[in-house]
Structure 1
Amino acid sequence: MLFVGNDWAEDHHDVELVDDDGRRLARRRLTEGIEGIAQLHELIAGHLPEDATAADVVVGIETDRGPWVTALVAAGYQVFAINPMQVARYRERHSTSGAKSDQGDAHTLAELVRLDRAHHRPVAGDSDLTDAVRVLARSHQNLVWLRQRQGNQLRSQLREYFPAALMAFPELTGRDALAVLTVATTPQAARDLDVETIIEVLRQAGRQRNLRATATRIHQALTAEHLAARPLTAQAFGITARALVGVLAELNRQITELESQVSAYFGRHPDAEIYLSQPGFGTILGARALAEFGDDPDRYASGKARRNYAGTSPITRASGKKIVVLARYARNRRLGDALFQQAFAALTGSAGARAYYDAMRARGIGHNDALRRLANRLVGTLHGCLRTHTTYSETTAWTPQTHHTDQAA
């Protein structure tokens, strides 16, 4: 067999080839792109025995995505995506001085897949549709996170010169807040607005119900007495706030557009019905879960493996007489966020989920830990549904026998 360590950067790749005995056969720096991948194929072909196949080539690399990885998988190589933290720990087997280089990392990766590949997982063979859902779902989530950061920045600015706006709009990224703040980003501009003008602004923004009551409440909050900044300072803050409001308005438009695309692509997937049947999953959360779990049928050997990947199952640290059970902090943050939201939403959508959560709380378990345990249970249910190609059943998922077994565990 042939083992390849591939340390990647934005514009180049350092590769090292070793044989079964760990002898270095070649070391090269290749450029990113078609020319570089062609040189790598040529380099591998020059050292691969005549009776060997592409499946006899094992590649270790610190990423599982990108056109370079796609090309490696398409060539038929065994590709292992190694967590950078694991590579850093493995590096210490070869040197304790703390020295690091791209060539050294390529050697470490080659040795890692030569000696320890049985303890790592090859890159999953997800379908093209799942990859497309992943791109859209992650982009949508990135914009949602970006909107939250921009909203926090706007809130911080308003607190310094226009606290009345915070009283009027608890949620600054909402439609009503952005519409009114577009025309009134300073205390003086807000005082110049009357109720009728606010009604018209809200109507143009799309609000159809409770116009007068909402406009009256906003007008009263904006015109209430508050500590004020100096006039020129307030004007300067108003200019920057108007820019942030424009950014947030555009983010809302793009998030809505991406949401429709996520729904369209997710709806085409054959497992979409199974995901949507799970309690707490809507189109967006279901798409995020599918994107992060993938659809390779051989990726998870058991429900426990899927729960471990999801980060919902705990870890145990035992040393001597001390045993501590802790939450998993090294996990897929995107997947963990989706599953936590699913568990929270399932409390109102599933009687079994609610009863399980209440049982955890009655034992003195905190809210977040109880939701984590519920998410762990729901991941196991999802795994069973995907394995058997059946939709969720409330009766089957929460039978007394299954509930008792889970409690004992």
Structure 2
Amino acid sequence: MQGGQSVGERSVSHGGAGLAEACDWLTARTAAAPGSIAVAIEVPHGPVVEALLERGFQVYAINPKQLDRFRDRFSVAGAKDDRRDAHVLAERLKLVKRQVKSAHRHLETLCDRLAAEESEPGQGAGQRDVTILRSMPGTGRIVIATLLAEAWQPLCRRDYHALRTLAGVAPVTLRSGKRCLVARRYACNRRLANALYHWARVASQRDVVSRRRYGELRRRGHSHGRALRTIGDRLLAVACTLLQRRTRFDPDYAAMSAAAA
């Protein structure tokens, strides 16, 4: 929908080819970049969500129970079909986007206030935590707010190992005799893990080093989620190093280091 009006309908087959076709059709039909296209869906994970996120679309997961109640505004009889649900999802998405914009304004104000409060007299050019985190690729209002709310103590200690464990990117090693298995860590702070996931996702689109590393991992056969966890792990290590050195992120640092070597 554009401007509250439907601009087209399309059915695609289930599978990788169908998902690619749907993504191509969305960009062609709207003549817009994927980053400016919002997609509403009833599930927060799965191959459809991963395919959309990998292409750069804005994905909003709408709770099915909320959608069911919202549907009553359009049909008191409780009628349900795919075409009607698509319209209901679009209307719900418009409301969610307004709420998200309002929340983003509040978060931006809070981050600005924190950055201003951290600038102490006589500190010179030393950069404070919020300013440093803001300089990193992929961070935004929600990521910074989540880091400050869910991992403030490890951030203050610059404790990289605690951060990666809390965020779920530190693997779990299962060892018994000659058997050794390295598995994903599921016992973690889910809010922090989600924030790091999206931090890594945006960084892999905007940061040259992260994008190159993501491509290497995918070529080695790693899944989208596995590659992003590796990117997120690196970002946490870089963030802790920058916080220890009291300096902002420099996107040209890797190139200058390679040239100096």
TM-score (norm 2): 0.59
Larger Rg: 1
Q: Is the 8 A contact 1:348 1:354 kept in 2?
A: yes
- Partner residue of 1:374? 231
Q: Is the 8 A contact 2:70 2:92 kept in 1?
A: no
- Partner residue of 1:260? 105
Aligned pair 1:290/2:148, yes or no? yes
| Distance in 1 of aligned mates of 2:67 and 2:87 | 16
Aligned pair 1:280/2:195, yes or no? no
- Partner residue of 2:119? none
| Distance in 2 of aligned mates of 1:376 and 1:340 | 10
Written as runs of structure 1 = structure 2, the 5 A alignment for 1:135-150 is 148=63, 150=65
- Partner residue of 2:180? 323
- Partner residue of 1:392? 249
Written as runs of structure 1 = structure 2, the 5 A alignment for 1:302-317 is 302-317=159-174
Q: Is the 8 A contact 2:132 2:246 kept in 1?
A: yes
Q: Is the 8 A contact 2:175 2:181 kept in 1?
A: yes
- Partner residue of 1:153? 68
Q: Is the 8 A contact 1:151 1:173 kept in 2?
A: no
- Which amino acid in structure 1 is aligned with residue 106 of structure 2? Q
Q: Is the 8 A contact 2:154 2:160 kept in 1?
A: no
Written as runs of structure 1 = structure 2, the 5 A alignment for 1:27-38 is none
| Distance in 2 of aligned mates of 1:296 and 1:269 | 18
| Distance in 1 of aligned mates of 2:255 and 2:63 | 36
| Distance in 1 of aligned mates of 2:234 and 2:160 | 10
| Distance in 2 of aligned mates of 1:252 and 1:376 | 30
Residues 100-133 of structure 1, C-alpha deviations (whole Å, 9 max, x = no match): xxxxxxxxxxxxxxxxxxxxxxxxxxxxxxxxxx
The secondary structure found in structure 1 opposite 2:212 is helix
Written as runs of structure 1 = structure 2, the 5 A alignment for 1:99-178 is 148=63, 150-154=65-69, 161-168=80-87, 171-175=90-94
Displacement of 1:313 in angstroms is 1.4
| Distance in 2 of aligned mates of 1:340 and 1:380 | 15
Q: Is the 8 A contact 1:316 1:323 kept in 2?
A: yes
Residues 226-278 of structure 1, C-alpha deviations (whole Å, 9 max, x = no match): xxxxxxxxxxxxxxxxxxxxxxx4x6665443332222112222322211211
Q: Can you give the 5+ residue segments of structure 2 that lack an aligned partner in the other structure?
A: 1-59, 116-128
Residues 148-204 of structure 1, C-alpha deviations (whole Å, 9 max, x = no match): 4554435888895243223446545222xxxxxxxxxxxxxxxxxxxxxxxxxxxxx
TM-score (norm 1): 0.39
Tell me: CA distance 1:296–1:309, structure 2 relative to 1, closer, same or farther (3 Å): closer
Displacement of 1:392 in angstroms is 1.1
2:200 aligned to which of 332, 343, 367 = 343
| Distance in 2 of aligned mates of 1:161 and 1:297 | 48
- Which amino acid in structure 1 is aligned with residue 113 of structure 2? R
| Distance in 2 of aligned mates of 1:255 and 1:160 | 29
Aligned identity (percent) is 27
The secondary structure found in structure 2 opposite 1:330 is coil
Written as runs of structure 1 = structure 2, the 5 A alignment for 1:54-65 is none
Tell me: CA distance 1:155–1:400, structure 2 relative to 1, closer, same or farther (3 Å): farther
Q: Is the 8 A contact 2:171 2:182 kept in 1?
A: yes
User: Which protein, 1 or 2, shows the higher relative CO under an 8 Å CA cutoff with sep ≥ 6?
Assistant: 2
Pairs aligned (count): 182
| Distance in 2 of aligned mates of 1:160 and 1:322 | 56
CA RMSD of aligned residues (A): 3.1
